[in-house]
Amino acid sequence: MENALRACCKGIKIGKILIHREGDNGQQLISEKLPNDISDRHVLLLDPILGTGNSAVQAISLLIKKGVPESNIIFLNLISAPQGIHVVCKRFPRVKIVTSEIEIGLNEDYRVIPGMGEFGDRGTDQERKVHSHPGKGILAADESTGTIGKRLASINVENIESNRQALRELLFTSPSSLSYLSGVILFEETLYQKTSDGKPFVEVLQENNVIPGIKVDKGTVEIAGTNGETTTQGFDSLGARCQQYYKAGARFAKWRAVLKIGPTEPSELSIQQNAQGLARYAIICQENGLVPIVEPEILTDGSHDIKKCAAFTETVLAAVYKALNDHHVLLEGTLLKPNMVTPGSDSPKVAPEVIAEYTVTALRRTVPPAVPGIVFLSGGQSEEEATVNLNAMNKLDVLKPWTLSFSFGRVLQQSTLKTWAGKKENVEKAQAAFLARCKGNSEATLGKYTGGVVVCVRAYLDNDKNVFFEADSDSFVTKRMAALLVQGLSGQPLEQIINAGVENPNVAMNGDSGNGKLNSGETASDLKKDWGNGSVLGSRGMRIKETG
């Protein structure tokens, strides 16, 4: 470009600006050799490609600092990505951009042109890769050391690095499970961990066409003067950390903002602080080559009804997208991770179809169609509830301009964790449980989930013919399956009981999630005959034990 410019404009003064990330320290190395009178001149800024716009912003900022008027700068390049043009125009509206081609599709290495090297800006085609494959979602494996410690404690496993690594390896090497995932959100520790064979987890994921992501926030702190409302921290050196995470293999990031519903909450202060924080995080990520997942979570704690949750969800999302626009965030290069619209945890439950209608309506009123994908958090729901509700949303017959998928953590891992129990001999069974959850949620993203009876139920019969149950959860689906088993012990075909819709009110429920399915036409006698008293019922995950 320099030689061509000299041939066209003889006698022109040419200066040089070098912008490069120096090593692993995340700092920008900017070297410049410019004419002393540059502030009095018009400047043609030459760069072969305009990708994310990060280098362009740095160079233009340097010229303005040297006294060059913004209107005197013309940016010339051979090829541009839409994001780069958007970023430069929003930041410097009076700078003129001249390009020979705008390239929408970036290559598999996230660069506009293969082989441009370290100086080439990186684009953000990752968001398409993360969400664009039908039937795929995101595994949230970004629990902090404290959070994962609580989960390990629930299975009496010590919270040490080797046990955390073993759990991650179990998940990331689960046969076939990764085929249902497009991305995995990692904690910083996990980003640099390896398998027991010495292969980095990042490479394991990449080899299975799963994009590594990274949690970049540092948790929440209380907003002074509020009733326990919080804002998210983690902006210190965020840009430098994003650069380091990119070099380590991460291609997207997540930042969680937390709001609550109460008598006077969420306050306007809480809404605005969290919206502005999400927007600031998002633009920093985009400037450093990471796709930001924007996560404004409204907690389910409370006795509010679904209408109140819907109203505040709309208010919060509207504020978030206003802030994203104000910060010049490219919406096409983002994903949204919201809560589903549900009643409070202390309120009566509603049908999945009701949750689907309220949730999709709230999204249609607030989320621009430029956003390519929405990946839901589970928000305290049981494994079955979260999956059934996601399925209902995808079955809803209304226009939905975005992909509706999942970004679940506990919902995908809970059964796996309990099956594993920290024992090597249980790894294969635990991976089978993980596969079942991934497959079920994959089906839900397509509106094809038929696992309404997928539960794990254990039945006990005493000498007085009283039947007691331990089951996966207290969800309606699980209770109904337990009731069917109660009737099934009487010898009636389960198909007849299902058709009759019979329920037993005297069912005692206890426990956590699992997987399994009963076949129509089977009786309890058939089950005991096939698998025996007290035995594990094969891959169905059910057990019947007769104690009397």
Please, what are the domains in the chain?
2-121 (3.40.50.2020), 127-445 (3.20.20.70), 457-546 (no CATH)
Distances (CA, A) of 377 to 370, 387, 469, 510: 21, 11, 30, 24
Confidence of residue 46 (pLDDT cuts 50, 70, 90): confident
Whether the pLDDT of residue 452 is over 90: the answer is no
Q: Report the chain's mean pLDDT, rounded to a whole number.
A: 80
Least confident of 6-20, 366-380, 384-398: 6-20
Check: CB of residue 175 under 8 Å from CB of residue 438. no
Token readout for 140 is 């949230």
Q: Is the pLDDT of residue 504 over 50?
A: no
Spell out the residues 6+ positions from residue 117 whose beta carbon is closer than 8 angstroms to its own.
Answer: none
Distance CA 432, CA 452 (A): 19
pLDDT at 279 exceeding the cut of 80: yes
Whole-prediction pTM: 0.68
How large is the average pLDDT for residues 148-173? 97
Range 166-192 average pLDDT: 96
Query: CA 469 to CA 481: how far, in whole Å?
Result: 11
Pairing verdict, β 211-215 and 220-222: unpaired
pLDDT at 153 over 50: yes
Do 524 and 491 contact (CB within 8 A), yes or no? yes
CA distance 443 to 391: 8
Residue scoring higher pLDDT (458 or 117) = 458
- Give catalytic residue positions: 295, 337
Structural element, H or E, at residue 170? helix 161-172
pLDDT by residue (tens digit) across 293-317? Answer: 999 999 999 999 999 999 999 999 9
What are the tens digits of pLDDT across the range 317-355? 999 999 999 999 999 999 999 999 999 999 999 999 999
Task: For residues 519-539, give the mean pLDDT.
Answer: 37
Quote the pLDDT of residue 126.
58
**Paired residues of 253 in beta bridges:** 214, 292
Give me the torsion for CA of 48, 51, 52, 58, rounded to 10°: 0
- Averaged pLDDT for residues 168-182: 95
pLDDT tens profile 218-273: 999 999 999 999 999 999 999 999 999 999 999 999 999 999 999 999 999 999 99
Name residues whose C-beta falls within 8 Å of residue 480's C-beta, 6 or more positions apart in sequence: 453, 503
Over residues 87-134, the pLDDT tens digits come to: 899 899 999 999 888 776 544 444 443 333 333 334 445 555 565 578
